[in-house]
Amino acid sequence: MSKKRLSIVDIANNLNISKTTVSFILNGRAKEKRISTEMVDKVLKYVKEVGYKPNSLAKSLRTGKSNTIGLIVEDISNPFFGSIARLIEDRAYKNGYKIIYCSTYNDMQKTRDMINMFRDRHVDGYIIAPPQGVEEDIASLINESMPVVLFDRYLPTIDTDYVVVNNQFSAYNATQYLVGQGYKNIALITFANDQTQMVDRIRGYQMALKEHGLKQLIKELPFAEDLTESITAFLKSRKGIDAVLFGTNRDATYGIKIMHNLGIRIPEDIAVISFDDSDAFELHSPPITTVAQPVEDMAEHIITILLDKLNNNGVGTKNQSIVLHTDLVVRGSSQPVKK
Amino acid sequence: MSKKRLSIVDIANNLNISKTTVSFILNGRAKEKRISTEMVDKVLKYVKEVGYKPNSLAKSLRTGKSNTIGLIVEDISNPFFGSIARLIEDRAYKNGYKIIYCSTYNDMQKTRDMINMFRDRHVDGYIIAPPQGVEEDIASLINESMPVVLFDRYLPTIDTDYVVVNNQFSAYNATQYLVGQGYKNIALITFANDQTQMVDRIRGYQMALKEHGLKQLIKELPFAEDLTESITAFLKSRKGIDAVLFGTNRDATYGIKIMHNLGIRIPEDIAVISFDDSDAFELHSPPITTVAQPVEDMAEHIITILLDKLNNNGVGTKNQSIVLHTDLVVRGSSQPVKK
DNA sequence: CTGAAAGCGCTAACAA
DNA sequence: TTGTTAGCGCTTTCAG
Which stretch of A132-136, A275-279, B2-6, B106-110 has the lowest confidence by average pLDDT? B2-6
Cβ of residue A27 lies below 7 Å from strand C: yes
Local confidence band at B2 (pLDDT 50, 70, 90 cut-offs): very low
Pairing mode, strands B289-292 and B327-329:
antiparallel
Please give the backbone phi and psi of residue B328, each rounded to the nearest 5 degrees, phi first: -85, 110
Tell me how far apart the alpha carbons of residues B75 and A227 are, in angstroms, rounded to a whole number: 27
Nearest residue by alpha-carbon distance to C1' of C2: B21
Nearest residue by alpha-carbon distance to C1' of D7: A62
The secondary structure of residue A67, as a DSSP letter, is -
- Per cent of chain B over pLDDT 90 is 64
Q: What pLDDT does B1 receive?
A: 34
Mean pLDDT confidence for B59-83: 91
Q: What pLDDT does A316 receive?
A: 61
Interatomic CA–C1' length for residue B20 and nucleotide D14, angstroms: 13
Mean pLDDT confidence for B143-169: 95
Q: What pLDDT does A186 receive?
A: 97
Q: What pLDDT does B313 receive?
A: 59
Q: Answer with the residue of higher pLDDT: B231 or A318.
A: B231
Q: Indicate the residue of B103, B121, B143 with minimum beta-carbon distance to A86.
A: B103
pLDDT at A146 over 80: yes
Local confidence band at B42 (pLDDT 50, 70, 90 cut-offs): confident
Q: What pLDDT does A31 receive?
A: 81
pLDDT at A264 over 50: yes
Q: What pLDDT does B271 receive?
A: 97
pLDDT at B53 over 50: yes
Local confidence band at B135 (pLDDT 50, 70, 90 cut-offs): very high
Tell me, what amino acid is at B241?
Answer: I
Tell me how far apart the alpha carbons of residues A47 and A19 are, in angstroms, rounded to a whole number: 13
Average of per-residue pLDDT values in chain B = 91
* Backbone dihedral region for residue B64 (phi beyond 0: left; psi -120 to 50: alpha; all else: beta): left
User: Please, are residues A84 and A110 in contact by the beta-carbon 8 Å criterion?
Assistant: no
Local confidence band at A228 (pLDDT 50, 70, 90 cut-offs): very high
Q: Indicate the residue of A76, A86, A283 with minimum beta-carbon distance to B284.
A: A283
Query: Is the backbone peptide bond immediately before A131 cis, with ω within 30 degrees of 0?
Result: no
Q: Which residue of A has its CA nearest to B250?
A: A279
Which stretch of A284-298, B28-42, B202-216 has the lowest confidence by average pLDDT? B28-42
Tell me, what amino acid is at B43?
Answer: V
Mean pLDDT confidence for B117-128: 89
Q: Is A86 on the interface with B (CB under 8 A)?
A: yes
Instruction: Give per-residue pLDDT as tens, A158-213.
Output: 999 999 999 999 999 999 999 999 999 999 999 988 999 999 999 999 999 999 99
Contacts with B, A 103-162, CB within 8 Å: 103, 114, 116-117, 119-122, 140, 143-145
pLDDT at B87 over 50: yes
Contacts with A, B 27-56, CB within 8 Å: 53-56
Tell me how far apart the alpha carbons of residues A31 and B157 are, in angstroms, rounded to a whole number: 46
Contacts with A, B 94-113, CB within 8 Å: 98-103
Q: Which chain B residues are within 8 Å of A285, Cβ to Cβ?
A: 284-285
Closest CA–CA distance from residue B280 to any residue of chain A (Å): 4
pLDDT at A324 over 90: yes
Residue whose C-alpha is closest to residue A280's, from A313, A258, A253: A253
With b meaning 16 or more CB within 10 Å and e meaning fewer, what string describes B174-184? bbbbbbebebe
Closest CA–CA distance from residue B211 to any residue of chain A (Å): 34
pLDDT at B5 over 80: no
Instruction: Give per-residue pLDDT as tens, B259-314.
Output: 999 999 999 999 999 999 999 999 898 999 999 999 999 999 999 999 999 887 55
Mean pLDDT confidence for A267-279: 95
Tell me, what amino acid is at A38?
Answer: E
Q: Is B192 on the interface with A (CB under 8 A)?
A: no
The secondary structure of residue A326, as a DSSP letter, is P
Fold held by B167-293+328-334: Rossmann fold (3.40.50)
Instruction: Give per-residue pLDDT as tens, A83-134.
Output: 999 999 999 988 888 888 889 999 999 899 889 888 888 899 999 999 999 9
Hey, what CATH class is A65-163+295-324 in? alpha beta
Quick count: other Cβ atoms within 10 Å of Cβ A156? 10
Write out the residue limits of the CATH 3.40.50.2300 domain(s) in chain A: 65-163+295-324, 167-293+328-334
Contacts with B, A 55-84, CB within 8 Å: 55-58, 60-61, 66, 68, 75-79, 82-83
Interatomic CA–C1' length for residue A9 and nucleotide D5, angstroms: 14
Write out the residue limits of the CATH 1.10.260.40 domain(s) in chain A: 8-54
Local confidence band at A30 (pLDDT 50, 70, 90 cut-offs): confident
Mean pLDDT confidence for A26-50: 85
With b meaning 16 or more CB within 10 Å and e meaning fewer, what string describes A158-194? bebbbbbbebbbbbbbbbbbbbebebebbbbbbbebe
User: Please, are residues B158 and B133 in contact by the beta-carbon 8 Å criterion?
Assistant: no
Does the distance separating the beta carbons of B121 and A56 come in below 8 Å? yes
Cβ of residue A21 lies below 7 Å from strand D: yes
Q: What pLDDT does A311 receive?
A: 83
Average of per-residue pLDDT values in chain A = 91
Does the distance separating the beta carbons of A83 and B122 come in below 8 Å? no
CATH number, span A8-54: 1.10.260.40
Q: Number of A:B CB contacts under 8 A?
A: 135
